[in-house]
Amino acid sequence: MESMTQVAREGARLAAYDDDEPTESSMMQEDTERECARFYVDVASAPETFLGGMRSMGLLRGNDDEMHLLREETIDYLRRGLTIPLGASYTSLDASRPWLLYWMLQALDLLDAFPSDLVAGVRLALKECCAAGSLGFGGNFMQVGHTAPTYAAVLAICILDDDEAFQLLDRDAIYRFFMSLKHPSGGFRVQPDGEIDTRGLYTVLAVASILNILTPELTEGCAKFIADCQTYEGGIGGEPGNEAHGGYAFCGIAALAILGELDAIDLDAFVHWIAARQMRYEGGFQGRTNKLVDACYSFWQGATPAILREAAVRGDLHSSIGALAGVEGLIYDEERMQQYIILCCQQFQGGLRDKPSKRRDQYHTCYALSGLSVAQLGGSKVWGTQTNRLVETDPVYNIEREKLRRAKERFADLPPPVLSESTD
């Protein structure tokens, strides 16, 4: 593992990826590495001006040379997002209300700061997003049902762990909704007449497995659809023939874990692709080949080794990667990724961002913290002070493990779902 001093020394050269023929991509990469180089300084030999700046941001406290997660500041940022109307800059997320609620609830849960005093308000907001006929959840009031906000709403309800919130979930209606979206390819449309991709497939299977409506009819052809989306690079794209992408790769591998069919794809090629996405200098992940580092991929890419590791422990893997998946740090450097998040992605007022040149938002706050959590799974070293340790998230569903268990228990003994509304 490279020390901080080695990383800083590497920054003197940065990355000469352009063979002396600069392109827009190579110049953006160099700019990003320069942004990060300002933070990658060995504290033991750092000038006082640097140390003073780090202390003013709260990353260093007193004479402590351990880097801190800005826990209280981030909790305050997230709670304000749940209680104060969001500004005009959030207009583009008007159709993502369940997502916003999930991102903030999940991040607070990881920080062990569940907002119990706000449960009633969140429950009401989710109720307003119920689609007509209980066919899932829409992105906001009076919007059509869609698999992605349905997934976000169900996860938010699991985090709330509230009896009244669970009453919003009509298993039979959700099952009918999902079956109406089933496509002959094995995938699912995300909404009536919508696209068919790995995101839609994963969100359906995740919800169905929680609600105990994961029937053979629902899962038919799903593993083959994901296998068809694996690319020559080894990663997984959104649709057959698409470029491999970190978010879709997560959706594909998590869906296969739910199905118990991880061996349906070439896992050796997949793991090689994941490992190659960790940026050598920055330490975080990029989402696609030749793209910039982005904190959200700390979860989308970083959860994969944890998924494989836990599948190997259960005996669900039969390929050669099964033996390797249990080796901590072999697929990616968890400690270097934690450094990237804590040093480069925290905003001193609280919240986390894509990279130093970006602004904080709830999405990156959720997935950067989720990436920290999965990097700490299995006893991995917590980088910085021990107070940086987060609550453990489940790498397949990305909610706290105990809440996931309790949610599944609620539905475990319920009868199979009814596809038709008519009765004999």
Q: 290-306 pLDDT, tens per residue?
A: 999 999 999 999 999 89
- 354 noted as active-site residue: yes
Would the pLDDT of 12 be above 50?
Answer: no
Range with the poorest average pLDDT among 2-6, 320-324, 331-335:
2-6
- 296 noted as active-site residue: yes
Closest CA to 295 of 380, 222, 251, 356: 356
Give the whole-angstrom CA distance, residue 120 versus residue 140.
17
CA distances from 21 to 17, 24, 289, 329, 365 (A): 9, 10, 19, 35, 36
Would the pLDDT of 4 be above 80?
Answer: no
More confident residue, 76 or 64: 76
Would the pLDDT of 3 be above 60?
Answer: no
- 366 noted as active-site residue: no
Would the pLDDT of 2 be above 80?
Answer: no
Would the pLDDT of 265 be above 60?
Answer: yes
* pLDDT confidence of residue 1: 42
- 175 noted as active-site residue: no
Q: What is the mean pLDDT of residues 198-211?
A: 98
Length of the chain: 424
Confidence of residue 327 (pLDDT cuts 50, 70, 90): low
* Active-site hit among 146, 245, 309, 403: 245
Give the whole-angstrom CA distance, residue 36 versus residue 56.
18
Range with the poorest average pLDDT among 79-88, 188-197, 311-320:
311-320
* Active-site hit among 77, 102, 281, 297: 297
Task: For residue range 391-418, list pLDDT tens digits in order.
Answer: 999 999 999 999 999 999 999 999 999 8
- Tell me if 389 sits within 8 A of 314, measured CB to CB: no
CA angle 25, 27, 31 (to 5 degrees): 115
- 297 noted as active-site residue: yes
Give the whole-angstrom CA distance, residue 388 versus residue 64.
14
Give the whole-angstrom CA distance, residue 346 versus residue 356.
8
- 288 noted as active-site residue: yes
Give the whole-angstrom CA distance, residue 377 versus residue 75.
22
* pLDDT confidence of residue 44: 72
Give the whole-angstrom CA distance, residue 239 versus residue 158.
29
* pLDDT confidence of residue 45: 76
Give the whole-angstrom CA distance, residue 102 versus residue 398.
10
- 361 noted as active-site residue: yes
Confidence of residue 11 (pLDDT cuts 50, 70, 90): very low
* pLDDT confidence of residue 54: 79
* pLDDT confidence of residue 335: 92
Averaged pLDDT of the chain: 90
Would the pLDDT of 329 be above 90?
Answer: no
- 364 noted as active-site residue: yes
Q: What is the mean pLDDT of residues 305-328?
A: 75
Tokens 């976000």 found at: 152
Q: What is the DSSP string of 92-110?
A: GGTT-HHHHHHHHHHHHHH
* pLDDT confidence of residue 316: 80
Closest CA to 158 of 417, 416, 408: 408
The domain segmentation of the chain, as residue ranges, is: 69-84+94-411
* pLDDT confidence of residue 328: 61
* pLDDT confidence of residue 8: 47
Give the whole-angstrom CA distance, residue 284 versus residue 336.
7
* Active-site hit among 161, 197, 294, 394: 294
How far from each other are the two terminal CA atoms of the chain, in whole angstroms? 65
Give the whole-angstrom CA distance, residue 299 versus residue 412.
28
CATH code for the part of the protein at 69-84+94-411: 1.50.10.20
Which long-range contacts (C-beta less than 8 Å, at least 24 apart) are formed by 114-123? 114/159, 115/79, 115/82, 118/79, 118/82, 118/83, 119/160, 119/162, 119/165, 121/82, 121/83, 122/82, 122/156, 122/160, 122/165, 123/160, 123/162, 123/164, 123/165, 123/168
More confident residue, 85 or 350: 350
Would the pLDDT of 195 be above 70?
Answer: yes
